[in-house]
Structure 1
């Protein structure tokens, strides 16, 4: 590393970017250059750019890194870039800063209408900070029309606007080549187990032994590790999924297990959205004058009913996405199990995805051939592809489990 490389603080917003030293250095350098640029100083060309693309595997912290950069750009502390303590940093991290718009798709895609409204808002000058920031999580969910609308804004950005896009990769299937070519790409890696365990222990106050276990089985996903360490039901759901491979002894078990997996995903989706859905309904009813009396009440009630139907439509779309995400997570766990079987079978010595299920994977390795384990792994991956193509979940899972049974 060059001797003149800036020293990145391990505190403030940068402490949130776990296990990504190279990316953190790049982002800190850019935020520092942006501050000097805003002050009228000369900065090297390319030190700060108007469009960024954060890529990396699930759990690598794409959106966290993007939020850290957004907070550092708005930070009002004159002594530190991204202090994490000032009002600007706190409101950015909480998602309430007036100049930072965070788009988290609640449905299966981001529509062109939503993107056009966002592009229009991004053209305004910052109201309280130095920059207007547009952060789009899961930008791979942009429809073709939405991507085209965003491209126009990225091609000719306002002078004080920064676009931060997050996607699994810079592959054309995730982000169009035209948008990618106008972005500076920040590639994140899977955080190491020790780094995740340290965060759980020191920042979340998790018991050290539980933190070590959660970090070892989360697949490098920080958010998943936190859920497993703090939510007993999440641990139970994972165990239910990992009992499936050795639990389908008869063909009839295929249908029972398929229904169980889909039901598990539905339950997790309901649990994740139930409180939020109810709060949104009550807030809308209050805003539309529910319970009011007097002149105009009938018209207000009619308007409230229409707005409520629209809200229920959005909530249904969000529930569908949550269910697909929960089911996909279960499939990732299953794929990890079959990988463990192959590792055990070949004696490679690589780290297991599920070390706490080492006995089960060893039993499977002793009973199956390598070809059979590989066919099962391919069936899980094919199921993930089918779900991505909107195949009905129960049908896709039943087809997968039939292959898992026969091998």
Structure 2
């Protein structure tokens, strides 16, 4: 019987077996968790850290487990970013922390949630500590794929591959653990395409379900180039607005913290060095806004991709379950209106748009180009 701490790792029996064996004694000082978005890389790393610190291997009820789950365990540090990259300063702070002895726990554990976002300088700063860590120090790195982490680091880590959990497994988790209605859980699980966090968000938030329904209705409503331009503008504006809503609160809190740290009043002279610190904070906040807006657009593109997949499956008579069964009428309409070749072209356009955004293309222009290709 596995420890309760592993219950959130849906459909990851092999991973749980490997990590449980490590907790029992088959330990390595550096690990690299990889898997597709939503597979639970960070959850697995946190669960592993919790189990390592717990005297009972992850009971979830002792003080160590409770503080680990709350993110307040003094010997578990999480390094992440809301921006586009993790810089060398954050990496050096992590290295300094990694040299400390555990204060209350059994290990000093550092979790790098987005190891693929480490800059080359940051990765080089971590390398020596990962290669020869201090006694009792454990590094847990997370990335979408092994290849996303530079060779010198990944070669020193033990790989742990997580797989995309099945829709039925996610639906059971939502229904049994979160008390969500079975039908809502099933639809959310199918729509999430294996992303547990997204499934939970869709199941709990009617507004998220409404936004998704509007996104899936876009392809059916395109009749001309004007519709394409308006749809692209809407996606871009809504993504920017959502990023702004989230970032304004964070920006205000961070600015207040910076002023307090530097002893800055609303009026009066600024201490030497404050201007540079403010500039650095402003640039990081701008990068965060850009990333959040881009991530919001990418979520829209994934929904559109799943819709076009369902259309293509219907056109080919593939006999597979649709991802978006709740919009079956629109899928049937599109399948009858267009050809399989046209649908493949639309899928290619979505993939090209995602690649363009990753290369820092202007979002609205990339979206306009994609939408225009939806017309054939």
1:222 to partner: Cα distance: 0.9
Which residue does 1:166 correspond to in 2? 142
Alignment counterpart, residue 146 of structure 1, candidates 115, 122, 135: 122
Alignment counterpart, residue 365 of structure 1, candidates 312, 318, 335: 335
Alignment counterpart, residue 8 of structure 1, candidates 2, 6, 20: 2
1:202 to partner: Cα distance: 2.8
Once the two structures are overlaid, the 10-residue window that deviates more, 86-95 or 334-343, is 86-95
Q: Distance in 2 between matches of 1:227 and 1:273?
A: 19
1:118 to partner: Cα distance: 1.5
Q: Distance in 1 between matches of 2:22 and 2:231?
A: 50
Q: Report how many residues are paired.
A: 376
| Alpha carbons of structure 1 residues 303 and 71: separation in structure 2 relative to 1, 3 Å | same
Q: Distance in 2 between matches of 1:18 and 1:190?
A: 9
1:248 aligns with 2:216: no
Superposed, 1:2-401 pairs within 5 Å as 7-9=1-3, 11=4, 13-33=5-25, 47-75=26-54, 77=55, 80-171=56-147, 174-289=148-263, 298-299=268-269, 307-401=277-371
Q: Deviations over 1:39-59 (max 9, x none)?
A: xxxxxxxx2101111111111
SS in 1 for 2:190: helix
Q: Distance in 2 between matches of 1:123 and 1:325?
A: 34
Please list every run of 5 or more consecutive structure 2 residues that lacks an aligned counterpart in the other structure: none
Which residue does 1:4 correspond to in 2? none
1:112 to partner: Cα distance: 2.1
SS in 2 for 1:298: coil
- The answer as to whether partners of 1:54 and 1:166 remain within 8 angstroms in 2 is yes
1:302 to partner: Cα distance: 7.8
Q: Distance in 1 between matches of 2:188 and 2:242?
A: 19
Q: Deviations over 1:33-84 (max 9, x none)?
A: 1xxxxxxxxxxxxx21011111111111100000000111111x4xx21111
CA RMSD of aligned residues (A): 2.1
TM-score, normalised by the number of residues in structure 1: 0.86
Once the two structures are overlaid, the 10-residue window that deviates more, 147-156 or 376-385, is 147-156
1:140 to partner: Cα distance: 0.9
TM-score, normalised by the number of residues in structure 2: 0.93
- The answer as to whether partners of 1:237 and 1:264 remain within 8 angstroms in 2 is no
Q: Distance in 2 between matches of 1:285 and 1:240?
A: 42
Q: Distance in 2 between matches of 1:235 and 1:281?
A: 34
1:306 to partner: Cα distance: 6.1
